[in-house]
Amino acid sequence: MAQPLVRITEYTDPACPWAWGSEPVFRSLRQTLGARAQWRQVFGILFDEDDDPAPDPDAEARWYERFIHEVTAHTDAPYPHRLRWLTRTSWPASLAATAAASQGPGIAERVLRRLRESTFVHGAPADTPAGIRDAVRDIPGLDIDRLLHELADPLTRKAVRADWAETRAPVPEVLGLDGPGPHPGRAKETGDHRRYALPTLLFDGPGGQVCVPGWRPLETYLEAARTAAAAPLPRTPVRRSPREALERWRSLTGPELALLTGESEPPPEAVRIDTGHGPLWLHPGEARPGPV
């Protein structure tokens, strides 16, 4: 099997609205580059365990809800009808997403997507083991008991702690960045550290390293991949039919449907979930009873 031409490191967090809004572009990037790229996710811990608790949790949730709406004005991603609480800590979801990797990349992808949807679709962030169990139940092929056992394993915590540290050692070019756009990606001041803005992608290959932080269009990422790979990688996105996309990803937002397929209508079997901002389309095997 041929070696990948470029290595991509994604700094992210399950509760970050910019990362949620970047899902269409990142899915398209992965689909377009295919086996020519090796992708690694690093969980940066947006909400740490030692953060001071909010004196008024509901007011804090309303503040973050407004922030999500502001981000959505740029990303057009779904958001919940109401955010029931602000994520207490990013650790449980990040541990779960890390632990899920031992069950295969497809399972890990679905687990992380469900964790994101717990906040940005259902408004009930999966920030406890019980919340995680509820969020990921009925994912085909997932061993939930194994996931929760490995979530609590000290080795999983050590891996996420390494992610925490890596995210707080950003490359120099993002430290004083003053780029264009609503989310240029300048490194954030967090206590005694500076960390990557979420999301940030690093591209590494024979052509060197290229950092693409913040909110960017697909074309910017494809150009970065070509530069890092020093090879003629695609310039336009690979697309699938709506039915193929729904079968592949199981859950599609409106922006994802448009970017991944070039179409605006899902296949007839898709199950529509109405959020506070547009629909989410689910594969029939993903649909669960109960209100959003």
CA 115 centroid distance within chain: 9
Other beta carbons within 10 angstroms of residue 244's beta carbon come to 13
Mean pLDDT of 93-119: 98
Q: Are 64 and 82 in contact (CB under 8 A)?
A: no
Task: Name the β-bridge partners of 193.
Answer: 190
Q: What is the mean pLDDT of the chain?
A: 95
Q: Is 39 helix (H, G, I), strand (E, B) or coil?
A: strand
Q: What's the confidence (pLDDT) of residue 181? A: 83
Q: What's the confidence (pLDDT) of residue 179? A: 77
- In which band, very low, low, confident or very high, does the pLDDT at 288 lie, cut at 50, 70 and 90? low
| pLDDT higher than 70, residue 291 | no
The larger pLDDT score, comparing residue 116 to residue 285, is at 116
- In which band, very low, low, confident or very high, does the pLDDT at 1 lie, cut at 50, 70 and 90? low
Among 240, 258, 214, 241, which residue's Cα sits nearest to residue 31?
Answer: 240
The pTM of the full predicted model, rounded to 2 decimals, is: 0.95
Beta strands in the chain (DSSP E): 6-12, 37-43, 188-190, 193-195, 200-205, 208-213, 251-253, 271-274, 279-282
Q: What's the confidence (pLDDT) of residue 177? A: 86
